[in-house]
Structure 1
Amino acid sequence: MSVEFESPHTAFSLALDAAIAESGLSLERLQRHLAARGVTLSRASLSYWRTGRSRPERETSLDAVTHLEDVLNVRPGTLKSLLGPKAPRGRWLGGPPERLARHRLWPALHPLSAELKPPPDGHVRFWSLHDTLFVDDHSRERHLRVRMVAEAALDGVDRIMTFFQADGPEQDDPTYEDLQSCTLGRVLTDRATGLTAGELLLDRTLAAGDVAAVTYTLSFGRGHETDHYHHRFTRPAQLYVCQVQFASRIPRLAREFEQRQLGGPRTQGRRLTVDSGHAVTFATRDVHPGILGVNWEW
């Protein structure tokens, strides 16, 4: 398997594209916000920066990037740090990889983003993700164990964001436990939507190409009754493993499934066998953006 990695210039365009997509602003509205700050920037320039056809280099353009960070509600310096040295003259022809805007899979995230200011989506690439959900005999989710191997797509990666969406309003705030190779940063839970967003602060700051293996457990208080678990992918991943560990009560049927978008139809896959340890396992390579998971019937 071969993997192509983006240059720092691509990292800037990807980060800008993700930030614009998550803001919900059109280029025209973004241009107006900048104009209100006394910054003159054409929609064509914004479009070229976003797609990687060109990049800001002049002092006036770099000043515009500073204002963009504020308008788009990202941490100061986030976009500027991705520019690196000046680009050689000539048109860069590469295009961004397949992706989904974060807000399309996490529509409830926006209110929390204003406080957390998450790093741009795509700042890490996942070599592998392994989720294990533990379900009790009352069909309630008890805790989720996550193991991930992630590679920094750019210099200065010091945290990884995690998101969990419950099936309904949360009665208790989920808690992070048993962290390995990281410490816990800020955690916010919107009980009305059931969304929990948390920062995992890496033990070391990664340069582009560095790899970190991180493990954590998310424990639920009373938990929700559930008949499925899924993972939402905004970017490709090389390997995904989804396990559901049941207590003594065994489902009569379990299947893997796929969705292209939230609220879209589920495409049912293979039937899964419950093993001697009361678990079902679904694994797949070369994951594309979308939703993958397991559902079951009692």
Structure 2
Amino acid sequence: MEDRSGTVPTTFADALGEAMARRGATLTHLRDRLAERGHPVSLTALSYWRSGQREPERVASIEAIPELEAVLGLETGALSRRLSGRARRRVGAVEPFDSLLGDPAVDAVIGEEDVCRVSSHLVVDVGAQGEIVRARVRQVVVADREGVDGVTLFVGPDVGTQENAVVMTAVAGCTIEETHDLENGIRGSRLVFERPLGLGESTVTEIEATTEGGLDLETDYALAAEQRLEEALVWVRFHPDRLPSRCWVYFSEGGLRHDWPVELAGARSVNYRQTGFGPGSLGVRWEW
């Protein structure tokens, strides 16, 4: 798609604005046509998209992009391939994780569209009483734009509850600036990098999660991959005086879920690793 000057639009906002101008389409027209197709998008959101102040990011917005392309008479991907960061990788691969977040304030998810998550490791240490001593999350991210200074890390509640008593502490590579309690017990913490990143530059962050008050006796820990990761790993390490009687590993990805038993066979830990994984989740659960 080219404008009259012969230049090719490089951003989502440019491509949207040029397509609207060529079709003579107003924001109201787009809103009405999208609503007719079952994808209601507000005039405010459309205005933000056209101005470049924001890009589509919520589930409903991502799902509306193919319809928006059709309404404007564009080829498939004419808009979606110009999305930056997180949104571009999620078109056609939106997972139910987003619905758990409800409708958080914009500040609660700052940075999500600015980085590409490369790998994420969850390491869980279980104590002599079967309690969770600590859980650490180490992740590698790459900046999708110049000057990215942080990202949001989400932590969910124990299985079967909506209460989140997790306290997160920065271990290395970042500080924790603020925390937001979202819907369904999801908690998002803003991780601030040691310094802003250049475009394409990577960094590593590590945080520790502990429980506020009482023993955490949870027997199921999972890592949620919101983006497609080069590597996802869950590693549960048991105290030698408290080994489980049974263990399973499991994953959920693209509508497919599967779990299977694993034997410790003299080992004191269980790990489950996947490459080229996500969006989805993988985890380890056990019985005493």
TM range (shorter): 0.5 to 0.7
What is the CA distance between 1:92 and its match in structure 2? 5.1
What is the CA distance between 1:196 and its match in structure 2? 1.9
What is the CA distance between 1:226 and its match in structure 2? 2.1
- Match 1:184 to one of 153, 176, 192: 176
TM-score using structure 1 length: 0.63
TM-score using structure 2 length: 0.65
RMSD: 3.9
User: What residue identity is the alignment partner of 1:179?
Assistant: V
Report 1:161-172 matches (<5 A). Answer: 161-167=152-158, 168-170=161-163, 172=165
The CA deviation string for residues 123-151 of structure 1, in whole angstroms up to 9 with x for no partner, is 32222211111233444433211111111
Decide whether the 8 Å contact of 2:164 with 2:187 is kept in 1: no
Determine the structure 2 residue equivalent to 1:208: 199
Report 1:40-55 matches (<5 A). Answer: none
Decide whether the 8 Å contact of 2:111 with 2:152 is kept in 1: no
Determine the structure 1 residue equivalent to 2:286: 296
Separation (CA, whole Å) in 1 of partners of 2:223 and 2:141: 16
Decide whether the 8 Å contact of 1:124 with 1:153 is kept in 2: yes
Determine the structure 1 residue equivalent to 2:185: 194
1:233 correspondence with 2:225 = yes
Separation (CA, whole Å) in 2 of partners of 1:130 and 1:187: 21
Determine the structure 2 residue equivalent to 1:87: none
Separation (CA, whole Å) in 2 of partners of 1:240 and 1:125: 14
What is the CA distance between 1:265 and its match in structure 2? 7.1
User: What residue identity is the alignment partner of 2:229?
Assistant: A
In structure 2, stretches of 5+ residues that fail to align are 1-8, 16-32, 59-76, 82-87
Residues 11 and 147 (structure 1), Cα distance of their counterparts in 2 relative to 1, 3 Å cut: farther
1:267 correspondence with 2:258 = yes
Residues 154 and 40 (structure 1), Cα distance of their counterparts in 2 relative to 1, 3 Å cut: closer
Which has the larger Rg?
Answer: 2
Determine the structure 2 residue equivalent to 1:150: 141
User: What residue identity is the alignment partner of 1:185?
Assistant: E
Separation (CA, whole Å) in 2 of partners of 1:101 and 1:92: 19
What is the SS of the residue equivalent to 2:102?
helix
Determine the structure 1 residue equivalent to 2:11: 9
Determine the structure 1 residue equivalent to 2:243: 250
What is the SS of the residue equivalent to 2:11?
helix
Identity within the alignment, %:
20
What is the SS of the residue equivalent to 2:101?
helix
User: What residue identity is the alignment partner of 2:285?
Assistant: N
Determine the structure 2 residue equivalent to 1:280: 270
Determine the structure 1 residue equivalent to 2:42: 33
The CA deviation string for residues 246-271 of structure 1, in whole angstroms up to 9 with x for no partner, is 2331112222211137xx77401462
What is the CA distance between 1:275 and its match in structure 2? 5.9
What is the SS of the residue equivalent to 1:107?
helix
1:175 correspondence with 2:167 = yes
What is the CA distance between 1:160 and its match in structure 2? 1.5
Query: Which aligned runs of 4 or more in structure 1 are off by greater than 6 angstroms?
Result: 10-13, 29-32
Separation (CA, whole Å) in 2 of partners of 1:210 and 1:197: 23
